[in-house]
Structures are given as structure tokens and as C-alpha cells.
Amino acid sequence: MPGMGKTTIAKVVFNQLCYGFEGSYFLSNINETSKQFNGGLVDLQKQLLQYDILKQDVANINCVDRGKVLIKERLCRKRVLVVADDVAHLDQLNALMGERSWFGPGSRVIITTRDERLLLEADQRYQVQELDPYESLQLFCQHAFGDAKPAKDYVELSNDVVEYCGGFPFALE
């Protein structure tokens, strides 16, 4: 479900864990980027292999299959943290994550998706829950009034907005 905070949570986890790995990368907006006409999946593969993680040139990646080979070759001995944000299709996962053997021992891959079926082989799953009414009101008020409580004249209106937004953090912000 869009607007639940999956990306925000993944960013927080990434920022807390990234220093404990040989390399780390946050691949954002995978679904949108992969749709680009000029080889979006290849661009994502290049990002994954970019200088941040492996400090190697990626100019020789000109197709998805070549990118898969290089990812497997270069990451299979490295302990890395990779966040794959907004994955929508299995081909996106296959192009970027392939199999567990592509990553070295101790590596971690975090995937955000709206489609639970893509996570059938995941070791662990975390489903983001809607905020309860109290949490929703606090979040809305923090953004609207700079305080966790509604301004005196806006209590009823604030409650109406919170009810309308249905516990979705993105809508409440």
C-alpha cells in the first residue's frame, strides 16, 4: 500500500546498519527507474556496482544479463547491505538480487514492495501497519501545528482529517 512509510522505515534501518558492512547502497524507486526507455534496469545494476560499494568501473555493462554476471562476480565475497526500494516485478529482483549466492556471507538485502508475492523466499517479512487514531492525530498535528496536540480551535477538524486519511503516514504529513 502506498504511503504507509515503507521507504522511510527502510531508510532509517539502512542509516543505522550501513557502517557495519564492506559496502552499502540504497537503490531507490526501482519500479520507476526500471521503466526508463534507455535501460533502467541496467542503470540500477550500474548503481549497485558503482564506486560506493566496489570502486570499480561499470561502463562495460550494456545489458541486464552482463550486469547480473558482474553483480554475482563482484559481490559474492563481500559483506554488503543493499536496500531495494519499491520493487514491483520479479524481473526487477532477478536483475538486481538474483540468488542468495550473489552476496557474501553476512550480507543483508532489504526489499520494499507493495506485492507480498515477491517476498515468498524472504527469510523475514515486516508488514507496515496503519497508524492507530492516536498516533495518526499526533503525526498530523506535529506537521500541521508543530505540536503533538491540535490547536484548541481545530480539534474537531483535526479528528476529521485523521479519520479521512485512515492511518496512512504519507497522507497525514
List, for residues 107-155, the tens digit of each pLDDT value. Answer: 999 988 888 888 777 777 777 777 778 887 787 778 888 888 888 888 8
Amino acid identity of residue 23, one-letter, is: G
Asked if residue 2 has pLDDT above 70, the reply is no
Lowest-confidence region among 3-7, 79-83, 91-95, 115-119 = 3-7
Q: 39: closest CA among 95, 103, 89?
A: 95
Residue 69 burial (C-beta neighbours within 10 Å; 0-12, 13-18, 19+): exposed
Grid cell 553483480 in the structure block, residue: 71
CA dist., res. 95 & res. 163, Å (int):
41
Mean pLDDT, to the nearest integer, of 83-106? 91
Q: What are the boundaries of each domain within the chain?
A: 6-119, 133-172
Average pLDDT, the chain: 82
pTM of the predicted model as reported, rounded to 2 decimal places: 0.76
pLDDT score recorded for residue 107: 94
Task: State the Cα–Cα distance between residues 5 and 120, nearest whole angstrom.
Answer: 21
Residue 19 has pLDDT above 80, yes or no: yes
Residues 50-70, mean pLDDT to the nearest whole number: 72
- Helix spans in 3-132 (H): 6-17, 30-34, 40-49, 51-54, 64-75, 90-96
pLDDT at 81: 93
pLDDT at 131: 75
* Angle at CA of residue 91, ends 88 and 93, nearest 5°: 70
Q: What is the pLDDT of residue 102?
A: 92
Distance CA(31)–CA(22), nearest Å, equals 26
Is the per-residue pLDDT at 51 higher than 60?
no
C-alpha to C-alpha distance for 114 and 86, rounded to whole angstroms: 7
Tell me the C-alpha distance between 27 and 6, whole Å.
14
- Residues in Cβ contact with 3 at an 8 Å cutoff, skipping those fewer than 6 apart: 168, 169, 170, 171
At residue 57 the predicted structure's pLDDT band, cuts being 50, 70 and 90, is low
30-48 pLDDT, tens per residue?
A: 998 888 766 788 888 888 8
